[in-house]
Chain A
Amino acid sequence: MTEKKKTTIVLLSGDYDKAMAAYIIANGAAAYDHEVTIFHTFWGLNALRKDESILVKKGFMEKMFAKMMPRGADKMGLSRMNFAGIGPKLIKNVMKKHNAIPLPQLIEMAQEQDVKLIACTMTMDLLGLQEEELLDNIEYAGVAAYLAEAEDGNVNLFI
């Protein structure tokens, strides 16, 4: 086949439903043989957090951020009907019934399909997130790296 098409997604949202949409599209695009990149910034970075607590040196504000943000994809809330955390439990039950893939597995599958996961380093600094706290085998970059992928991209989404 001719040169591979590219899909780039910016994931700014830290909501379970929005991240799920991003990762379903990413996995679909990978199945379309696209070169897929998800650029995680701001709250979207939480999708890349490991779920265990990792000891890193942080200032007061950074510690507060770390406490208040979801630690990993599975702990994210819903953008609507979150009901103080009951919403995600309900939706996960419904998803199980319909055989929909939970977000952590979608992320795993994306990595297996060679979807490039990028963490925005500028917002990592703002939120006080460090490389040790994020998943292995991801890349770290800024706006230029994203644009380099996006400028010859065929599908480009901001979620």
Chain B
Amino acid sequence: MNVARVVDAKGLACPMPIVKTKKAMNELESGQVLEIHTTDKGAKNDLTAWAKSSGHELLDYEEEAEVLKFRMKKG
């Protein structure tokens, strides 16, 4: 999968992961994929809800050594 951009939100607390994700998403074209790295425990629910409400598609999610990685396709 082609990841157009990676957002590094590791170590950042609420509301930064979502704010940074939104900022990066604004700069992408529809169909491009954004990868988000975060350590915030709430991020899974937050990003899932945000993607749904903003019309993006959460493609997958993995946990790697305490870092949560999300891939989201711009709607």
Q: Which residues from chain A sit less than 8 Å from chain B, CB to CB?
A: 1, 24, 27-28, 30-33, 98-101, 109, 113
Query: Is the contact region of chain A dominated by helix, strand, or loop, or is it mixed?
Result: loop
In the complex the two chains form, is B13's CB within 8 Å of A31's CB? no
In the complex the two chains form, is A24's CB within 8 Å of B53's CB? no
> Which partner residue on chain A sits nearest B13 by CB separation?
A100
In the complex the two chains form, is B12's CB within 8 Å of A31's CB? no
Write the B25-43 contact mask toward A (1 if CB under 8 angstroms, else 0).
0000000000000000000
In the complex the two chains form, is B22's CB within 8 Å of A31's CB? yes
Given contacts A31-B50, A32-B50, contact A101 B55 (CB under 8 A): no
In the complex the two chains form, is A31's CB within 8 Å of B55's CB? no
In the complex the two chains form, is A99's CB within 8 Å of B19's CB? no
Q: Which residues from chain B sit less than 8 Å from chain A, CB to CB?
A: 11-16, 18-19, 21-22, 50, 53-55
Q: Which chain B residues lie closer than 8 Å to A30 at the CB level?
A: 19, 22
Q: Which chain B residues lie closer than 8 Å to A24 at the CB level?
A: 14-15
What's the minimum C-beta distance from B27 to chain A, rounded to whole angstroms? 14
Instruction: Give the distance in Å from the alpha carbon of A1 to the alpha carbon of B11 in the complex.
Output: 32
Q: Which of B18, B19, B50 has the most CB of A within 10 A?
A: B19
In the complex the two chains form, is B19's CB within 8 Å of A31's CB? yes
In the complex the two chains form, is A28's CB within 8 Å of B15's CB? yes
> Which partner residue on chain A sits nearest B22 by CB separation?
A31
In the complex the two chains form, is B13's CB within 8 Å of A101's CB? yes
9 closest A-B pairs by beta carbon, nearest first, are: A31-B22, A100-B13, A28-B15, A31-B18, A27-B15, A99-B13, A31-B19, A99-B11, A24-B15
